[in-house]
Every structure is written in C-alpha cells, then in structure tokens.
C-alpha cells in the first residue's frame, strides 16, 4: 500500500488517464479527490470506480481563484494534501496558417496556465507540511516535433516541462518533488475514434509495436507519487514504447 493514508488531488479528474490513475491510487491506499471543470465528465467516469469512495469538485484550471478555493476546501476537510496530479489538457490541432489566436490561447490557457494554477494552488499546503508530490502530465508532443499535434499543443506541453523542472528546484527545500510524465499514443477515447489507417501508422512507428495502455502511464504516476521516488525530482519520464524522434 504505497499511498496508505495519503490524500491525492487529481486535477482534470474526468479524463481517461485521471481515472486510471485515481483507481490505481485507491488500490494503494490513497484518498482520491477529483477536480474537473464540468459535472458531466465526472458523472461519466464515477461508475468505473465501483464501490470505491472518491470526492469530487467542480473547478476550472484556467481560474486560479476558483481552483485555490477548491484546494483550500480539500485541505480543510482532509488536513493535508500529499499528492497533486495534473491531468487537465486539451488538443486543438490545425496547421499554423489556419490556427487563430483564439485557437492558440485556448490550448495554452488550459495546458500551460492551468498547470501553473494547479501547482500554485497546492504549494502553500505542501510547504506547510514540508513534503509533497506534484506530477504533471506532459506529452511526447512537448519533447519532439510530432505530426498531428499542432504548435499550440506542442508549445504548451514543452512549457509544462520547463515549469516542472524549474519548480522542482524551487520547491526542493520543502522536500516537495515535482516531476512529469510524457506519454506517447495511448488507448483512450481519442484513440478509439481514430481511423484504422492512422492507428496502423502510429503502431508501425513504435519500436515495441503497440499503442500504450492508460494503466501503464498510471503506474508510472503512482511510482512518482510514492516514497519509492523520494529522491527523484525535476525529471520527465518518457512512456512511449521507444517512440522518439
């Protein structure tokens, strides 16, 4: 039970990866709090938790005051926040000549500013406890130029990696670790909506020969949230079946 009696907040808690992560955290003894910007997404994933108890909140990562109020409420009710996983993210791919300023900002606001807000919102609670784990979900698209990603998404995830590495150094005196995972293609809802030709193309470029499973990334997040990773900070863990440049 690597997270026994730990309190874990999962931001973007209505996503597929957040669900896989939340279920794995619960299996390891954590109390899980899901934060998402709408109730419909939470209602969609809650049945997959079965009899496991999770607490939910509605908050938009683009709104720091709203997110901070939610985090403060969690801390007051639970007495602490041990882990924060930032799974909030969107993609809106268009070629740059078709990408509007609104298209650019909509992705940056959620993926990068949202990550900043989530990290900032939990910092005071973790500093007070002189411990904490922050795990941001970046992407292979933020590590290398990838087709089908878009400059807005790539820039947002690359920025998240820079945020992670700098914040790791800044928060180290309080024994707070800050790391990121950078997944490649995964079998989530977006995957199952793809044409088979695109799936075949993706798989053909992966040395291990298959698309990743959500649970495999969730396992890496669990590791970074646990005491097994107590001496790891500022790292970006690539999880992509060997798919690099």
Write down the domain spans for the chain.
7-235
| pLDDT tens-digit series, residues 89-114 | 998 888 999 999 999 999 999 999 99
Q: Give percent of the chain above pLDDT 90.
A: 83
Quick check: is 153 catalytic?
Answer: yes
Instruction: Say what angle helices 114-129 and 64-78 make with each other, to 10 degrees.
Output: 30
CB atoms within 10 A of CB 186: 21
According to DSSP, residue 109 is labeled: I
In angstroms, the CA 229 to CA 1 distance is 15
For domain 7-235, the CATH architecture is 3-Layer(aba) Sandwich (3.40)
| pLDDT tens-digit series, residues 157-183 | 999 999 999 999 999 999 999 999 999
Q: Catalytic residue among 25, 57, 104, 153, which?
A: 153
How sure is the predictor about 193, in pLDDT bands with cuts at 50, 70 and 90?
Answer: low
**Strand (E) positions, the chain?**
7-11, 31-36, 54-58, 83-86, 132-137, 176-183, 236-239
């Amino acid at each position: 039970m690597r997270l026994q009696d730990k309190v874990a907040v999962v931001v973007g808690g209505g996503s597929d990866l957040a669900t896989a992560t939340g279920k794995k955290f619960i299996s390891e003894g954590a109390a899980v709090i899901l934060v998402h910007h709408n109730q419909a997404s939470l209602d969609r994933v809650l049945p997959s938790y079965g009899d496991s108890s999770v607490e939910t909140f509605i908050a938009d990562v683009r709104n720091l005051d709203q997110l901070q109020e939610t985090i403060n409420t969690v801390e007051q009710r639970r007495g602490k926040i041990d882990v924060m996983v930032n799974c909030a993210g969107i993609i809106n791919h268009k070629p740059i000549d078709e990408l509007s300023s609104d298209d650019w900002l909509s992705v940056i606001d959620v993926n990068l500013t949202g990550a900043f807000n989530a990290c900032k919102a939990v910092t005071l609670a973790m500093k007070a406890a002189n411990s904490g784990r922050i795990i941001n979900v970046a992407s292979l698209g933020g590590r290398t130029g990838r087709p089908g990603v878009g400059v807005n998404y790539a820039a947002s995830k690359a920025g998240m990696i820079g945020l992670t590495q700098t914040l790791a150094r800044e928060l180290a005196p309080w024994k707070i670790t800050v790391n990121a995972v950078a997944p490649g293609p995964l079998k989530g809802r977006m995957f199952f909506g793809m044409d088979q030709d695109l799936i075949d193309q993706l798989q053909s470029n992966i040395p291990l020969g298959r698309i990743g499973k959500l649970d495999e990334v969730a396992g890496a997040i669990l590791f970074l949230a646990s005491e097994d990773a107590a001496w790891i900070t500022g790292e970006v863990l690539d999880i992509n079946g060997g798919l690099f440049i």
